């Protein structure tokens, strides 16, 4: 199914962007401007299902099944769905439904790590008649005190970081374990994509200007595999946001009578040394 999905993605991209179009990956973005905070502040999230390197096309999201937060203080999961609001998101290619969330400072003012998890409704990729559901995770730190950033969150599919996702220098290496039902997935197929444009939270839009130009289509989404222990290692050659997606690793393979790809996404932020 993964090969078929890639083939159809490539065909769709070619249709949309002409002969120079490129294979590109779906990524459930869970975005905010800064993940390493000196002090707690209100967090402005954007939840967009898109192709981050190309800035679109963006796929319509239905109301997420779950959006939650947990921290080392108390440890319990807090349901954040009441903070979600649908918006019309402007990508390069189209305008469609995404979500925003304003999380009050009171919920994230504890020192340490704050783990945000999004479980979206499965998305029907009509061209190939399959559903895609990407469990996305993003970790915020307040004050520089490390706490539970490396702890799995008990998701059906998940990427468990082995480096702090919020404390990475440009040029560094990032490692993580691909998990399904809490167990490592040997040789899991992994895609990595860079958010290659600005994200305008005022206008609910992606910037029109690419940060970098891919010399050829295969540079838009990097592809690799986890090793025999399920560990994936990537480089971070540029400051900004990097998405890591492990594809079709869930135990649930069908939804509403159609094939389902359950993917795990983790967002990593890199900063320049300056």
Contact criterion met (CB below 8 Å) for 141 and 37? yes
What residue spans of 30-144 are helical by DSSP H? none
Q: Shortest distance, CB of residue 103 to other proteins, whole angstroms?
A: 14
Residue 183's H or E segment, with its range, is strand 183-184
Comparing CB distances to other proteins, the nearer of 145 and 212 is 145
Q: Do 207 and 55 form a contact (C-beta atoms < 8 A)?
A: yes
The 8-class DSSP code of residue 59 comes to: B
Phi and psi of 86, rounded to 5°? -70, 145
250 binds other proteins (CB under 8 A): no
207 scored as a contact of other proteins (CB under 8 A): no
What's the angle, vertex CA 98, arms to CA 90 and CA 175, rounded to 5?
100
Stretch that binds other proteins, among 93-101, 106-114, 168-176, 222-230 (CB under 8 A): 106-114
Give the nearer residue to other proteins in terms of CB position, either 75 or 186: 75
Rounded to whole angstroms, how far apart are CA atoms 56 and 191?
17
Structure tokens given for 90:
């402007």
Residue 146 lies near other proteins (rule: CB under 8 A): yes
Candidates 2-10, 22-30, 103-111, 182-190 — which segment interacts with other proteins by CB under 8 A?
103-111
Judged by beta carbon, residue 29 or residue 103, the one nearer other proteins is 103
Q: Does residue 162 touch other proteins according to CB under 8 A?
A: no
Cross-strand bridge partners of residue 184: 179
Q: Which of 112, 120, 122, 165 binds other proteins (CB under 8 A)?
A: 112
Q: In this chain, which stretch among 132-140, 143-151, 237-245, 263-271 interacts with other proteins, using CB under 8 A? A: 143-151
Note whether 41 binds other proteins by CB under 8 A: no
75 binds other proteins (CB under 8 A): no
Q: Closer to other proteins by CB, 42 or 65: give it.
A: 42
Which residues, numbered 10-39, are part of the site for other proteins (CB under 8 A)?
Answer: 39
Q: What is the Cα–Cα distance from 244 to 238, expressed in whole angstroms?
A: 15
Write the binding mask 210 to 249 for other proteins: x where contact by CB under 8 A, - elsewhere: ----------------------------------------
- Sole window of 55-63, 78-86, 105-113, 129-137 interacting with other proteins (rule: CB under 8 A): 105-113
Instruction: Map residue 147 onto helix, strand or coil.
Output: coil
**Residues contacting other proteins: total by CB under 8 A:** 15
Instruction: List C-alpha distances in Å: 138 to 26, 36, 177, 184.
Output: 17, 11, 15, 19
Is 40 near other proteins (CB under 8 A)?
yes
Distance CA 161, CA 137 (A): 10
The β-bridge partners of 82 are: none
Residues near other proteins, by CB under 8 A:
39-40, 73, 105-106, 109-112, 142-147
């Amino acid at each position: 199914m993964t090969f078929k999905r890639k083939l159809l993605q490539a065909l769709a991209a070619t249709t949309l962007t002409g002969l120079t179009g490129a294979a590109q990956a779906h990524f459930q973005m869970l975005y905010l401007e800064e993940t390493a905070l000196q002090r707690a502040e209100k967090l402005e999230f954007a939840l967009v299902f898109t192709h981050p390197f190309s800035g679109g096309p963006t796929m319509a999201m239905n109301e997420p099944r779950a959006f939650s937060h947990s921290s080392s203080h108390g440890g319990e999961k807090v349901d954040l769905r009441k903070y979600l609001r649908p918006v019309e998101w402007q990508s390069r290619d189209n305008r469609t439904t995404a979500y925003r969330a304003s999380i009050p400072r009171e919920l994230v003012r504890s020192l340490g790590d704050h783990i945000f998890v999004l479980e979206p409704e499965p998305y029907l990729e009509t061209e190939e008649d399959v559903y895609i559901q990407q469990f996305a995770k993003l970790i915020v730190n307040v004050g520089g005190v490390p706490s539970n950033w490396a702890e799995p969150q008990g998701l059906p599919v998940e990427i468990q970081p082995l480096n702090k996702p919020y404390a990475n220098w440009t040029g560094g290496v990032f490692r993580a374990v691909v998990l399904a039902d809490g167990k490592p997935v040997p040789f899991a197929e992994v895609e990595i994509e860079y958010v290659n444009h600005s994200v305008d939270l005022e206008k609910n839009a992606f910037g029109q200007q690419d940060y970098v130009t891919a010399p050829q289509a295969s540079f838009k989404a990097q592809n690799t595999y986890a090793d025999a222990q399920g560990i994936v290692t990537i480089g971070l050659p540029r400051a900004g946001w990097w998405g890591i997606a492990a594809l079709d690793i869930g135990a649930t393979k069908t939804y509403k009578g159609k094939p389902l790809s359950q993917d795990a996404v983790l967002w990593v932020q890199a900063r320049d040394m300056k």
